[in-house]
Amino acid sequence: MNDNKLIVSHAPFWHDGDSMFQMNLNIILALLPAALFGIVQFGAVALGVVTLSMGSAMVWELVMNILSKQKPSIGDLESALIGLLFGLMLPATAPWWLVVTGTFVAVVLGKVIFGGAGGNPFNPALIGMAFLMLSWKVMFDFDSAYVSYDFDFTALAPLAALKTKGAAEISGLFPLGDLIMGKQVGGIGSTFGLGLILGGIYLILRGYIRWEIPVSFIAGILVTAFCFNMANPEVYGGPFFHLFTGYTLLGAFFLATENSSSPVYTIPMLIYGAGAGIMIILMRNIGVYHDGTILAVLLLNLINPLVDAIRPKALGKGVSNA
């Protein structure tokens, strides 16, 4: 008789060969092209915002580890990734107190309070962003944030201009090539569309994210924006304008795909991604916000457990013991 006792632990149980450190490190690497471009474009203040965001996020997690008498967990880079994502969504002119407040909400309320890594039902970085946007909306007015910059392109936030002026009036101000190559104002790491696409493809090829969510997310954006544009092209922007502006691509590859708050089955992933894309365009076109990515992804996080309940059924019939 073997006297060895069974070892019981919490999920996840399946090991795919990669540690959390390796996964988070690769996601950080995938974000580097967009991050470096934003730092070069917006200057040293952008570097300060990103580094303060990452550093304060890690400090908040370390403080919570000490208060809860747990082993320090900052070595898994989870809080560093949350801080990086959060920092890349901020304008380069964000004051230090806004950054520190946001990372506190993201790490402490968005992650730690739910049990730490793997336990959060909402994307922590989005929790922090939503809190700031609802509390200090004026801080995210990208048009006024960059008035002191000297750009060689139209220094208007594309989505804000579309919302206030209409598609016909801004026609020609934002060439598609400029939007793809980052010639627009916005969050530090959200403007360089090509860099975000390359980072997303890298993560898909490495197996860190599944293709279903980004592809259905982008499809939802394009189809819904196309329908609005066909109905009234004078008011509503075209599908590719919406794809390469705001937080769209950051949302498609890095926000909606967060492991703990997104589905694990194929059909739910497709529904989840398409639903987020559709909601973003609805919020932009008929809602009060210029962008809708933050709130749309959080809304899909909320219904994720219901969507993920759509699971494949086992083949065959059960055998009764009666």
Reported as a single tens digit per residue, the pLDDT across 124-143 is 999 999 999 999 988 888 87
Mean pLDDT for the chain? 89
Instruction: Single out the residue of 262, 268, 245 nearest to residue 297, CA to CA.
Output: 262
Q: Is the pLDDT of residue 289 over 90?
A: no
Note the residue count of the chain: 322
Mean pLDDT of 4-10: 54
Contact 106, 127 (CB under 8 A): yes
The end-to-end CA distance of the chain, in Å, is: 33
Whole-model pTM: value is 0.89
Q: What is the pLDDT of residue 245?
A: 95
Report d(CA 198, CA 185) in Å as an integer: 20
- 251 — pLDDT class (breaks 50, 70, 90): very high
- 288 — pLDDT class (breaks 50, 70, 90): confident
Most confidently modeled of 118-122, 245-249, 302-306? 245-249
Question: Element (H or E) spanning 265, and its range?
Answer: none
Between residues 316 and 179, the one the model is more confident about: 179
Question: CA dist 104 to 79, 113, 299, Å?
Answer: 11, 11, 21
DSSP3 helix / strand / coil % (the chain, rounded to 5): 60, 0, 40
For tokens 């194929």, name the residue.
266
Report d(CA 311, CA 269) in Å as an integer: 11
Report d(CA 231, CA 309) in Å as an integer: 35
Q: Is the pLDDT of residue 1 over 90?
A: no
Residue 173 is which amino acid?
A: L
Question: CA dist 133 to 137, 142, 152, 300, Å?
Answer: 5, 12, 28, 18
- 32 — pLDDT class (breaks 50, 70, 90): very high
Question: What is the residue-wise DSSP string for 203-264?
Answer: HHHHTSS-SHHHHHHHHHHHHHHHHHHHH-TTTSPPHHHHHTSTTHHHIIIIITT-GGGS--
Reported as a single tens digit per residue, the pLDDT across 291-315 is 989 999 999 999 999 988 887 666 6
Mean pLDDT of 80-99: 96
Contact 222, 61 (CB under 8 A): no
Q: Report the range of poorest mean pLDDT among 16-20, 208-212, 222-226.
A: 16-20
Instruction: Single out the residue of 187, 189, 161, 186 nearest to residue 174, CA to CA.
Output: 161
At 9, list the tokens: 């632990």
Question: CA dist 285 to 143, 223, 264, Å?
Answer: 19, 14, 30
Q: What is the pLDDT of residue 17?
A: 45
